[in-house]
Each structure stands twice: as C-alpha cells, then as structure tokens.
Amino acid sequence: MEHRIHLIVSNEDPRAISVVALFEALYAEEALAGSPAVLAAEGGERWLKRIGAGLERFGRLVLAEVDGVIVGFAHGALWLPDTHLAGGPMGTITHVYVLPAHRRSGIARAMLLPLNDWFASRHVSRVELSVVAGNGAALEFWRSQGFEVRIHQLMRS
C-alpha cells in the first residue's frame, strides 16, 4: 500500500481532527507499556488545540494517509535550553504513532523526513525524544534512526 504524507499548518485543516483518535490510541498503547501518563478527558482535543496556534512556527504536525485514511501522525517542536546551557534551539519529537496494521511499512520514517527538514531549517543543535521504558519496539526503531540512550529518567508514583 502506498502512503501519502501531509503537513498540517493549522488545526483548522479538516484532516487535523483525525489526529485525536490516533493520539488517544498512542496513550492507550503507552499505558500498556508502563507509561504513567494518563490523558485527561478530551485530552486529544486539548492537545490539538494547544499545538494548533503554533504550527510551523513552534511545531510541525505531519500526517500519513493510506487509501484515504489517516493512519499515523508525528509532531515535533522547538524549545530553547535554559539560559545556563550553551547552544541554540533544540528540537523534540513529542509524538509519533502509526496504527498497528501499518507498522513496519516505512510510514514512521517517511513522517520523520519533513520533521528533520523543519528542525534543520531552524538550526536546531540537537533533537531529543522520550520512549516508554517498556516499549522495546519503539526503542529499536529510534536506534535505527540514529538516536541513542543518553539519559535515564526515573519516576516514583
């Protein structure tokens, strides 16, 4: 199956609403892998509304479509390090999700291309992301993309 990649420049784009269900599915899967993060009521809608105003200025939202159905999304954002740290703007890949039936088809990699281009155009000094400790498949994917574990984050509930 051939996929198409779309950049969403505003949450007014009618395709943007399809991210809500995918966003919620991502959090449900991460919970199974041990993530302590729990979405609030209407968490997907709230997230989309929050990032919508800053799309292409502070963040980029990418969608993947197969046969007219949105099957994945990726979001990256800029952030400035604390003033006591050297370096310029940094990037963070906040979320990447592909429906299980479409995984291992190159869709996630394809969505990363426009994110990486966007980060490069903003001269980011490095790109970071987080992976739930119990999500071995995600860790394997990110390592295949050139990322390596540099920090272990510990939590207590």
Q: Is the pLDDT of residue 85 over 80?
A: no
Count of beta carbons in the 10 Å neighbourhood of residue 33:
14
157 inside domain: no
Count of all residues that appear for the chain in the document: 157
Please write the tens of the pLDDT for every residue from 144-154. Answer: 999 999 988 88
CATH number for the domain spanning 53: value is: 3.40.630.30
55 inside domain: yes
Please write the tens of the pLDDT for every residue from 112-122. Answer: 999 999 999 99
Count of beta carbons in the 10 Å neighbourhood of residue 37:
10
150 inside domain: no
9 inside domain: yes
Domain extent, residue 73, equals 3-144
Total domains present in the chain: 1
